[in-house]
Structure 1
Amino acid sequence: MTFTWVLILIGALLLLVIGINVVQQQKERVEAERRTEFARQRAIIDETETVLSNTGMIPCSTAIILVLYRRVQDALQIATSLSTHQQQVDYQRRLTDLNNQIASLQAQVPQVPPIENFRLPDNDKQILTLVQTLKKLKAILRAEHNKGRVDPAVFAQEENRIDNLQLRINVDSMLSRARAACFMKQYGSAKQMVSKALATLHTIKAQTPNDPFIGRKVDEAKHLLDEIMGAQKLSQPSAPKPKNEEDDIDMLFQPKKKW
């Protein structure tokens, strides 16, 4: 009888240990999921705030700024619910400030600055930052649209604006590479870059026919093409002059010199 109770007690202890392990593993799994999701929301906040900090380089509308603000707002709300008590204080403060910014922006008259006034920075580092910002902005816009958070009309308008800005940057980049290729006497590559730039300009013209950027860049591209053609012509070796048969005959029958 005593042996039976010992077996029962051992079985109960084993079940208790197993139960404790299961509960502990469940807590660890939940904690791991919380940390993963918290880190994901932190990444969303950091990425979006980085894009927001660089929007001064491009003509952004009120609509796209609101898309970015609301993305941060949603991520902050989730992060607040997943954060520790100490972190919650900071996130709640940031969320309050952001809510005030959103309310203030919504109260203003919507702004849609023309992209015709956009000018590419002179600094290469700034240009790289601009290219990366537009790429991230487009990805964020599409992600938010897929979640149903962006009106289809707003999405189409803003994506078109981003595409147009990217085309402008491509034009300047191709013309710059064409100049570099011309300097290196790679005239074939230079002409190819100018041709691509002109094709891109035709694409932009279809979207914004009254854009002064097009005429200015077309003139610049044509002038550069003339420079390339002229440089290529000058670099070609001149054809040898045909020999005059009469000169050869005179050389043959001229008096020989005595040494």
Structure 2
Amino acid sequence: MIIVSVFVLIGVLLLLIIGTSIIQQQKARVEAERRTELARQRAIIDETEAVLSNTGLIPCSSNIVLVLYKRIEEALNIAASLSPVQKNDYERRLYDLRSQIEVLNSSPKSAPAIEQFRLPDNDRQVLTLVQTLKKMKAILRSEHNKGRVEPAVFSQEELRIDSLQLRINVDSMLARGRAACFMKQYGSAKQMVTKALATLHTIKAQTPNDPFIAKKVDEAKTMLDEIMGAQKLAQPQAVKPRAEEDDIDVLFQPKRKW
């Protein structure tokens, strides 16, 4: 009887150990998932705030700013529920953010003219612009796929981003072509401007009434003519063949008397 009781106790202990281990593993798994999700929400917040910090470099509409604000708001909400330690900090940031969202919602929607955009002279700023627009477009599509952006707003904002990307691409190629021409690297300059013209002609076929495209086509053609002219002037004059020079000398030399 005692032996049976001992075996029963051992079995109970084993079950307790196994049960405790399972519970601990479950808690560890839940904690790992919580940390992973919290890190993901923090990454969303950091990425979106980085895009927001660079919106001053481009003519952004209030609609796209609102999309970015609401993305941060959702991420802060989730992060606050996942991090009791930092909950107060997240809630404070949420309060400030919701005040900004309220101001945007109550104000008339604005969209600065894209035609006023000018490419920065600093290469680092140009790279920042390219990266910002790429991330902004990805965020816009992601939020649209989740049903958080109205189709009309999505189409309008995606078209604005595409237009800005086109302007940066074309302006960048023309600027590099101009710089190469200044350095008398006419081959590279011609290649850049020709590439810009090809891009412009492709877009012009799709949007023939875009004044920006027409203006840039004329600018690129003028620049290409200038490059071709400069390249022609820079080429060394052809040296006349020696045989031809000898024939001319013989023709005009004094005739001998016999």
What TM-score comes out, normalization by structure 1 length?
0.88
Answer whether contact 1:187 1:232 (CA < 8 A) is retained: yes
Corresponding residue for residue 12 of structure 1? 12
Report deviation, 1:207.
4.2
Report deviation, 1:146.
1.0
Equivalent pairs counted in the alignment come to: 252
1:11-160 aligned at under 5 Å gives the runs: 11-84=11-84, 86-160=85-159
CA distance 1:125–1:183, shift in 2 (3 Å): same
Report deviation, 1:219.
4.0
Structure-2 separation of matches of 1:140 and 1:4? 66
Amino acid at match of 1:53: S
Amino acid at match of 2:18: I
Report deviation, 1:250.
7.5
Report deviation, 1:204.
6.0
Structure-1 separation of matches of 2:207 and 2:217? 16
**Structure 1, unaligned runs of 5 or more:** 255-259
Amino acid at match of 2:249: D
**Structure 2, unaligned runs of 5 or more:** none
CA distance 1:123–1:69, shift in 2 (3 Å): same
Answer whether contact 1:198 1:221 (CA < 8 A) is retained: yes
Structure-1 separation of matches of 2:24 and 2:163? 55
Amino acid at match of 1:56: G
CA distance 1:12–1:176, shift in 2 (3 Å): same
Report deviation, 1:179.
2.8
**Which stretch shifts more, 221-230 or 234-243?**
234-243
Which SS does the other structure have where 2:86 is aligned? helix
CA RMSD of aligned residues (A): 2.3
CA distance 1:204–1:97, shift in 2 (3 Å): farther
**Which stretch shifts more, 188-197 or 48-57?**
188-197
1:71-130 deviation digits (Å, cap 9, x = unpaired): 01111111111012x300011111111111111111111112110111111222211111
**Which stretch shifts more, 181-190 or 102-111?**
181-190
Which SS does the other structure have where 2:148 is aligned? coil
Amino acid at match of 1:153: A
Structure-2 separation of matches of 1:205 and 1:94? 48
Q: Sequence identity of aligned pairs in percent?
A: 67
CA distance 1:60–1:208, shift in 2 (3 Å): farther
Report deviation, 1:197.
1.5
Report deviation, 1:49.
0.8
Report deviation, 1:227.
2.3
Structure-1 separation of matches of 2:193 and 2:217? 10
Structure-2 separation of matches of 1:250 and 1:221? 50
Corresponding residue for residue 247 of structure 2? 245
Corresponding residue for residue 2 of structure 2? 2
1:114-161 deviation digits (Å, cap 9, x = unpaired): 101111112222111111111110010011111111111111111110
Amino acid at match of 2:114: I
Answer whether contact 2:204 2:210 (CA < 8 A) is retained: no
Amino acid at match of 2:169: N
Which SS does the other structure have where 1:243 is aligned? helix
CA distance 1:124–1:6, shift in 2 (3 Å): same
- 2:222 aligned with 1:223, yes or no? yes
Report deviation, 1:223.
3.0
**Which stretch shifts more, 220-229 or 8-17?**
220-229
**Which stretch shifts more, 34-43 or 52-61?**
52-61
Amino acid at match of 1:48: T
**Which stretch shifts more, 120-129 or 103-112?**
120-129
Structure-2 separation of matches of 1:246 and 1:225? 40
Report deviation, 1:244.
4.3
